Structure 1
Amino acid sequence: MSKNQASKSIEMKISTVVAVSALLRETDPALLDSALKSMTGGASDYFDNEFTVIDLAGCDLTGHTIDWPALINLFKSYSLNPVAVRHAPAEMEADIAAHGLSIDVVARPRQQVEEEAAPAQAPEPAPAPIPAPAPAVAEPISPPSMPQQSAAMIVDTPVRAGQRIYARGADLIVTAVVNSGAELIADGSIHIYAPLRGRALAGASGNADARIFALSMEAELISIAGTYRTFENGLPKEFAMKPAQVRLDGDRIDVLPIHTRA
């Protein structure tokens, strides 16, 4: 097999996976089973095999062990598929991994700068752990409510580190700052009328014509239809902290200026 043939055997692209968060207040499988029965009303199709992140932030785990096989089997019995655990103590991580679950690491963003407007120069980062809020849910373990048959999802509050917003089947419009460690996902295009400092993934369902627009481009990662580009060393100075758009040209991600003056 030639080198060219071998290189085509696998291709890596950004993929977006939407998961529900199970916000636990208890870890006793019997108590959780009772809560799930009450929540679902006994309906077997209440959940639809959603990927599930188990969030332990609300649990007192001091001197406590968790029966992971029982917990995993309980979720699966309600058509929920646990894939990761969030806010787990370090001493539990080996046991969690041994049961086939990933550790969902809460983002540790740069020190947040003033959110009302883009600064002339970004301050030096000062890492500090900030607990990430879970996606908004009606009740613990319930799937997040999404707009139905909407051409666009509008978010007019700051998107904080650790938050993920997904506009399924729609464009995403954000009128406030998107902080480092936050992630925006849209099946359509993404429009940000504020600084973009986190990750933005447009065309998530494969729409190669989708674009990303930002009033102040400061992104950590951008992606169109799975093709992505990162900026570990910062954006080129002609685009950094300026109005810019992102589009896909073949297999190449292009960042282009947006001219705001005639």
Structure 2
Amino acid sequence: MSSVPIASLEPVAEIKFGQVGIANLKLKRLDADGLAHELNDKVANAAQLFLRAPVVLDLSHLSTLPELDTVRDLLARVRASGMLPVGLSYGTSENEQLAQALGIPVFAKFRAAYERAGEAVAEPARATPAPPSRERVTTAESAEDIPVSTPAQVATIGQLHDKPVRSGQQVYARGRDLILTTLVGNGAEVIADGSIHVYGALRGRALAGAKGDETARIYCQEFHAELVSIAGQYRVFEDIPAELRGQPVQAWLDGDRLMLKKL
């Protein structure tokens, strides 16, 4: 019996959400067919999260930078899966030249932590501080921003939302926890930079630690989630143990694993 190469048993790429709505696709090895297969599976299993999601391709973990035609093919594979490649992550000057040849931008916030050629890496520009927290509720018919009157100098533990979040709506707690006192319906999405607390049924999607806080958690009284995510690590309904469905549940990260446990 022929042995299977160890490399073929490992995932081709790791995908992780850095900011709400944008994904960093880190290529771990050069395997266009394997990448296409993995992305097709991700879109099929979590279309709400991945279908038409903007993607930044990160080539920094490959031993050598691929040729122009190879990268063009990789981007085509990403696009064919249903995701939308929008640029390359920051790397070396060669990487920037490659992006220019492809006619796509380079995203500095997804930059590599090193330069392959041993060049010094400049400090990234500091992000502009976010304005005081605002609750955003978006429906399929309209969108509005509802300001929360919180003095900027006062630390706030959580943002309270006391209305049902229905299909097509999104609630985002920027820079804080999100506390929901009622239903999160199918097709709805709740997002927080901190933890999410649902004192009711969670039937839609919950994304905690949206800006990378790996200590964030998700708590709910009745667990029927379509998808849960913490700091970019996610699980979809099909991955959730049957014994947890409809139960009070908490979710947290243990390293790169998203854990679920009955409260």
Query: TM-score if structure 2 supplies the norm length?
Result: 0.47
Structure holding more strand per residue: 2
